[in-house]
Amino acid sequence: MTYLRKAFDRAIGQLRSGQAIPLRLELWDGRGFDLGPAPSVRVRVATPGALRYFLQPSLDGLGEAFIEGHIEVEGPLHEVIRSGVALARHGAHGVREWLPRLERHSRALDRKAIEYHYDVSNDFYATFLGSSMVYSCAYFRSEADSIDAAQEQKLDHVLHKLRLAPGERLLDIGCGWGALVIRAAKNYGAIAKGITLSRNQYEFARERILAEGLQERCAVELCDYRDVPGSEAFDKIASVGMFEHVGLKNLPVYFAKIRELLRTGGLVLNHGITSSDADERPVVHGAGEFIERYVFPHGELPHVSRAIREMSAAGLEIADVESLRRHYARTCREWADRLDADRERAAVLAGERRFRIWQIYLAGCAYGFEKGWMNIYQLLACKTQGGAAGSLPLTRDYMYEH
């Protein structure tokens, strides 16, 4: 332990000699270290063993220390994230070497990962998602938009891009709590089907559909996308916030399945988070490792170029590409603020440990999207035949005619 203290003292000296960080470290023995003037964040190190997290700090290690109770943190949530990033920059050389991922993404493995992430508590998710229960990037038409209005706008943005018309059949792959299929049936007159691997989402969506009296035109099923019968044919397909779970090696299978299920001339919209790194390395400073361990087991982010290539290789003609990165930065920030404002109830619903995971995950995502560590794209494509343009008009004007 003497060696650890000496190494910590050297690390503190290096931190102080670099760029100022508005953070104060307080040790169990009463010693304190200010890493910058007027610190807005206070970190209390509970035990001598917790000093190891500051020798070569990373967001993965600091996140572990916080979640497992080895450190206590006080200060404004988004300042905490900025201070953590500043510490991790100093320790960037300590992050382990990147190696390609080898998960097979079997049905059982994917279901287990989805259950871990989503089957926490519907009431817990409601603390930050609100009554809409839409867990994907909102679409802000102006700075004055509330997040609830922006989520409705996102649903409409997706359905307008798809040119969804009354009587058309829509498949929503990874339908969440059912908001998109309900809106498609209720506001657009479509016959909508959603699939999910989360039982909590499935049961919640079914109850909502029944409450809306839409059971004749709207349904959800517990189903893996690979198991949707090929005999089914859909005019339009949406996949919102799901392909991050597919796995890089399974993208050809995923897009081929979509093409199989789509009628000729039909449209598909894939809305998903992508890597900003062309080589698809994990998110910087250990953030990717943290998300893998605590939030999204087996999640993988393709670069948008890979998504476009695999979509095209499956026989889907890309018609439109739109980045929503700035929209997701604001969405995650508002989610983080909502969760923080209802922290006592959220901690009861999910447990203190899981609440801590989500607290720093959402705030960290807001920072990451703001800084361009990740991106998010909507890719609109058509199943064409013989060069025909399907149901798409000549210009993109139709997307905004509402």
Instruction: Name the catalytic one among 137, 175, 332, 365.
Output: 365
- If you search the block for the tokens 């109770």, which residue do you land on? 69
**Torsion sign, CA atoms 136, 127, 289, 13:** positive
The closest alpha carbon to 73, from 50, 95, 48, belongs to 50
Please provide the distance, in angstroms rounded to a whole number, between the alpha carbons at the two ends of the chain: 66
Give the residue among 233, 242, 127, 123 at the shortest CA–CA distance from 180. 242
Token representation of residue 319: 């018609």
Closest Cα partner for 46 from 64, 21, 29?
A: 29
Please answer whether residues 266 and 237 qualify as being in contact, where contact means their C-beta atoms are separated by less than 8 angstroms.
yes
- The sign one gets for the Cα dihedral 243, 248, 250, 251 is positive
Torsion angle, alpha carbons of 178, 180, 182, 184, to 10: -160
Which strands, in side-by-side order, build the sheet including 234-240? 218-222, 191-196, 169-173, 234-240, 262-275, 374-382, 317-323
Q: Is 195 helix (H, G, I), strand (E, B) or coil?
A: strand
Residue pair 291/301 in contact by the 8 Å Cβ criterion? no
Is 365 one of the catalytic residues? yes
DSSP-assigned letter for residue 151:
H
CA distance 380 to 237: 10
**Token pair listed for 114:** 């989805």
The residues that bridge with 36 in the sheet, in sequence order, are none
- What does the DSSP assignment read for 207-264? HHHHHHT-TTTEEEEE--GGGS-TT--EEEEEEES-GGGT-GGGHHHHHHHHHHHEEE
The rounded distance, in Å, linking the Cα atoms of 226 and 222 is 12
Task: Collapse the DSSP code of 60 into the 3-class scheme (helix H, G, I; strand E, B; otherwise coil) and give the result.
Answer: helix
Q: Which sequence positions are flagged as catalytic?
A: 365
